[in-house]
């Protein structure tokens, strides 16, 4: 009879030691023996020191592999395991430590060691081989459960990936913003999607994403400025996804905030918000609409007043639309945005879509079902053609840095580079 998934788990758990491999940042493989426990979700957990090669490697490239079993003479069964490592924190870490300490009674003592840290690997693939049978039994398991179990489309799910990144920023030492709802809104599928995308670059799994953190903070400040300065009392968040600004920003009294996104996104979001009894700090209204179809009627029905200026935000949206849809979107916004209205958006250039530097990333997004399609090289000119006076800032430049951008700001006149910019503009 074929070995079951549960039996493979039990086989792994019968081993307290594994060979673990990571990749040094000069791309050399490095291996070590580690004491492990394996959770119900096939996660492998171990402790190590900050100063170890594996800790340093996994912080720069989170891809990790193990061999479990098969090392003793006569034990002709083995598990090869490939996954993505992170260093969990908070309640999650405490639970994992309890499992670990049950198997390693000296574990609690080691907590006092300087530089002790805890690594958890989430599985992406494993192969169980039993060479005691002829022919050998080989079973492969693939783990994309968080994503595969979600009922949302890949484009809808991107909103939960971004929420996962906001959760990491919120839980970091000196957060640029706090979004206490982000972790719940992201859920397993959001973290799974983020892990899958970060694995393409071998990026650390449980750290904030500098770009997304800067973008969130930039638009937090910019939109509050926009509604504080003048007569704007309506905000429209286009493709709101898991955006929780209605709940976490200090809005002026009397402000109405419209969130637009598709049914699948709000079905997920509203259920979580209701469970958490989240209370908005403004008059929050939902508009369930597809932005590639006529949508302004639904916004008007929700109470939007086109005779008054408004603030619009299109964060993390335009790249998922094609040229036609973006042109239609701006025509629609133009039809309801009175002079004095404000808009914020992030936009990529065409090199982002075509450059060799980003080819692997673009392919990954396309393979996952959420390809990036729209880029524009001169957002100011693009906005001017639609009646907006815009200003652009690149992450890393003063105004979009917050001490967080890990690279030198790219000179604006350096050609042929993939770029993503933060844009704000006024109508009229
Ligand atoms: N703005 C949010 C943020 O920054 O966290 C979400 C960004 S997420 C990367 C992209 C969002 O665009 C998803 O919520 C998705 O549902 C939404 N979206 C993409 N195409 C859309 C469309 N045609 N109509 C409505 N929403 C759309």
pLDDT tens per residue across span 70-125: 988 888 999 999 988 888 887 778 989 999 999 999 999 999 999 999 999 988 89
- Ligand 1 touching residue 241 (CB < 6 A): yes
Residue 396 has pLDDT above 70, yes or no: yes
Model-level pTM? 0.74
Cα–ligand 1 centroid distance for 325 (angstroms): 13
Match domain 5-143 to its CATH number in 3.90.550.10, 2.30.110.10, 3.30.230.30, 2.40.37.20.
Answer: 2.30.110.10
Residue 5 has pLDDT above 80, yes or no: yes
Ligand 1 pocket test, candidate residues 151, 152, 155, 194, most atoms within 8 A of CB? 155
Q: Top-level CATH class of 210-427?
A: alpha beta
Residue 211 has pLDDT above 80, yes or no: yes
Q: What is the pLDDT of residue 73?
A: 83
| Range(s) of the chain covered by CATH 2.30.110.10 | 5-143
What is the rounded distance in angstroms from the CA atom of residue 188 to the CA atom of residue 147?
8
Cα–ligand 1 centroid distance for 65 (angstroms): 34
Cα–ligand 1 centroid distance for 57 (angstroms): 34
Give the other-Cβ count within 10 Å of 247's Cβ: 18
- Ligand 1 touching residue 292 (CB < 6 A): yes
Burial of 299 (0-12, 13-18, 19+ CB in 10 A): buried
Residue 168 has pLDDT above 70, yes or no: yes
| Range(s) of the chain covered by CATH 3.40.50.150 | 210-427
Q: What is the pLDDT of residue 406?
A: 85
Cα–ligand 1 centroid distance for 347 (angstroms): 14
The percentage of the chain sitting over the pLDDT mark of 90, rounded to a whole number, equals 78
Cα–ligand 1 centroid distance for 291 (angstroms): 9
- Ligand 1 touching residue 320 (CB < 6 A): yes
Ligand 1 pocket test, candidate residues 186, 317, 324, 365, most atoms within 8 A of CB? 317
Closest residue to atom 17 of ligand 1, CA basis: 239
Residue 346 has pLDDT above 90, yes or no: yes
Q: What is the pLDDT of residues 244-291, one digit of tens each?
A: 999 999 999 999 999 999 999 998 999 899 888 999 999 999 999 999
Ligand 1 pocket test, candidate residues 159, 169, 329, most atoms within 8 A of CB? 159
Closest residue to atom 11 of ligand 1, CA basis: 239
Please give the mean pLDDT across all residues of the chain: 93
| pLDDT confidence band for 2 (50 / 70 / 90) | confident
- Ligand 1 touching residue 315 (CB < 6 A): yes
């Amino acid at each position: 009879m074929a070995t079951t998934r549960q039996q493979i788990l039990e086989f792994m758990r019968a081993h307290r030691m594994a060979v673990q491999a990571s990749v040094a940042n000069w791309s050399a493989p490095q291996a070590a023996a580690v004491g492990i426990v394996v959770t119900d979700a096939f996660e492998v957990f171990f402790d190590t020191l900050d100063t170890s090669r594996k800790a340093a490697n996994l912080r720069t490239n989170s891809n990790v592999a193990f061999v479990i079993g098969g090392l003793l003479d006569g034990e002709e069964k083995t598990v090869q395991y490939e996954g993505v490592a992170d260093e969990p924190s908070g309640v999650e870490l405490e639970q994992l430590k309890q499992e670990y300490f049950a198997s390693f009674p000296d574990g609690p003592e080691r907590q006092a060691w300087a530089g002790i840290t805890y690594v958890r690997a989430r599985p992406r693939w494993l192969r169980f081989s039993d060479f005691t049978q002829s022919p050998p039994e080989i079973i492969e398991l693939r783990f994309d459960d968080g994503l595969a179990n979600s009922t949302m489309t890949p484009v809808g799910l991107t909103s939960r990936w971004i929420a996962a990144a906001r959760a990491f920023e919120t839980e970091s030492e000196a957060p640029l913003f706090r979004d206490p709802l982000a972790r719940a809104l992201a859920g397993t599928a959001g973290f799974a999607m983020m892990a899958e995308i970060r694995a393409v670059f071998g990026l650390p799994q449980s750290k904030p994403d500098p770009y997304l953190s800067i973008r969130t903070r930039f638009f937090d400040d910019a939109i509050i400025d926009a509604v504080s300065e003048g007569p704007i009392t309506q905000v429209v968040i286009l493709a709101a996804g898991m955006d929780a600004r209605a709940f976490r920003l200090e809005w002026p009294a009397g402000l109405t905030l419209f969130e637009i996104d598709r049914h699948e996104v709000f079905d997920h979001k509203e259920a979580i918000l209701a469970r958490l009894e989240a209370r908005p700090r403004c008059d929050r209204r939902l508009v369930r609409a597809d932005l590639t179809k006529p949508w302004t009627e639904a916004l008007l029905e929700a109470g939007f007043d086109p005779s008054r200026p408004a603030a619009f935000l299109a964060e993390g949206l335009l790249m998922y639309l094609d040229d036609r849809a973006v042109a239609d979107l701006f025509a629609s916004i133009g039809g309801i945005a009175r002079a004095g209205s404000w808009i914020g958006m992030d936009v990529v250039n065409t090199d982002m879509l075509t450059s060799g530097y980003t080819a692997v990333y673009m392919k990954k997004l396309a393979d996952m079902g959420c390809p990036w399609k729209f880029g524009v090289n001169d957002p100011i000119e693009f906005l001017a053609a639609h009646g907006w006076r815009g200003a652009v800032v690149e992450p890393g430049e003063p105004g979009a840095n917050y001490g967080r951008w890990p690279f030198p700001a790219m000179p604006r006149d350096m050609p042929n580079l993939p770029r993503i910019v933060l844009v704000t503009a006024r109508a009229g």
